[in-house]
Chain A
Amino acid sequence: MDRSLALLGLMSTGPTHGYDLKNRYDAIFGAARAIAYGQIYSTLARMIRDGLIEQVGQEPGAGPDRKRYAVTSAGRDHLAAWLREADTPSPDLQTNLFAKTVLALLLDDDADALLDLQRRAHLARMRELTHAKAGAALLDRLAIDYALFQIEADLRWIDLTSARLTDIDEEVRHHG
């Protein structure tokens, strides 16, 4: 998963500061690995440089003043393009698709449509592999079967997630 896009997505729900952003990230995406403060602030600096977010204020905190950031229209376009793009099947796909699904729900975007887009991309890849399997040597067929089973596992996850979107929406809003 591209963590900077996940952070940009979380910021798209409203202006926020780094401390709050870390807590929200860890609550939703940090089950396997929490994000470090250092990475939050370096990512924010990079996104300001790239024009994806801007500083919109400053407020007192326990230590130094906290800067508040908001997503720019360029940032929203960047996020929307990412959400609407199907990923190539790969071992990293699940976490990426998980992030997209959660962010689409948080942003009232059409999570079902993006799962459907990914489903179609997977089915298209499975069709290519199935076509390649016809007439292939046994060892090549075995390798293709392995890839097919991997993609099939992704598809099962997509179907299950699609069926549970309402429940996931409630859960995500609770954390988000």
Chain B
Amino acid sequence: MADPIITASGLTKSFGATAALRGIDLEVARGEVVAVMGPSGSGKSTLIHCLAGVLAPDTGSVAVDGTELTALSADARARFRLERIGFVFQFGQLLPDLTAVENVALPLLMAGARRRDANERSLQWLDRLDLADQAGKSPGDMSGGQAQRVAIARALAPQPSVVFADEPTGSLDSVAAENVLTAMLDVVRESGTTVVLITHDARTAAHADREVIVRDGLLSGTAPVGAR
């Protein structure tokens, strides 16, 4: 691959006697949208957590945008995630007592931005996701689709190298899901952001540039590390 932003090699990870990952090699190109699919318990969440530096693999290496995550301490990985990785989850990630603009500004403030700059950038991102009129509302006063677009704005505002989206439309009905997904992908494609999209839903995966399928801790069609 010419310009990979993620390079994972020989990843294994076990929890007790359970081998969640058994030897995964994966490259993701800069600006690519990749869907990670697989049945429940296949290891896709563990894979994503290793790629994002949330978990350290038992063996193997992960490099994101030139930084070898597996060589960093837990604290350094946390700092890297704050500055370079965006996350969108299925639900529940917005702070209910903050307004939309305050939610979006939060990671910018944590990364050291001044409050005025953070607010201004947050409003711009809300506007890009057609949420300018929702900026002063709290998540409880919005629809599920609007709240999810706020979560997307929050993930994108720090301009991360990679966004990991874990079933980002899983809690929405099919019309709202399609609207949210389209809004997210329009913005990430325009900004050249790389997205790793975890989903079990084929209609969601069809929006990606390609899919990889995880089964029994391996990418479909590959052999475990010990059998190579």
Chain A residues engaging chain B, CB cutoff 8 angstroms = 113, 116, 119-120, 122-123, 126-127, 129-130, 134, 148, 151-152, 155, 159, 163
Against A, the Cβ 8 Å flags (1 = close, 0 = not) of B30-54 are 0000000001000000000000000
List chain A residues, Cβ under 8 A from B182. 134
A130 touches B207 (CB 8 A): yes
A122 touches B207 (CB 8 A): no
Measured CB to CB, the nearest residue on chain B to A148 is B203
List chain B residues, Cβ under 8 A from A130. 203, 206-207
Could you tell me how many residues of chain B have their Cβ less than 8 Å away from some Cβ of chain A? 12
Measured CB to CB, the nearest residue on chain A to B209 is A127
List chain B residues, Cβ under 8 A from A159. 39
Q: B176-228: which have CB < 8 Å to A?
A: 182, 202-203, 205-208, 211, 213, 220-221
How near does chain A come to B197, taking the closest CB pair, in angstroms? 13
Please classify the interface of chain A as helix (H, G, I), strand (E, B), loop, or mixed, using the class held by over half of its residues. helix
A116-B221 contact in complex given A123-B211, A127-B208, C-beta closer than 8 Å: yes
In the docked arrangement, what's the CA distance between A155 and B206, Å?
12
| A152 CB contact (under 8 Å) in B39, B203, B207, B208 | B203
The 9 A-B residue pairs with the shortest CB-CB distance, nearest first, are A126-B206, A130-B206, A155-B202, A127-B206, A152-B202, A116-B220, A123-B211, A130-B207, A126-B202
22 A-B residue pairings within 8 Å (CB atoms): A116-B213, A120-B211, A120-B213, A122-B202, A123-B202, A123-B206, A126-B202, A126-B203, A126-B205, A126-B206, A127-B206, A127-B207, A127-B208, A129-B206, A130-B203, A130-B206, A130-B207, A134-B182, A151-B202, A152-B202, A155-B202, A163-B39
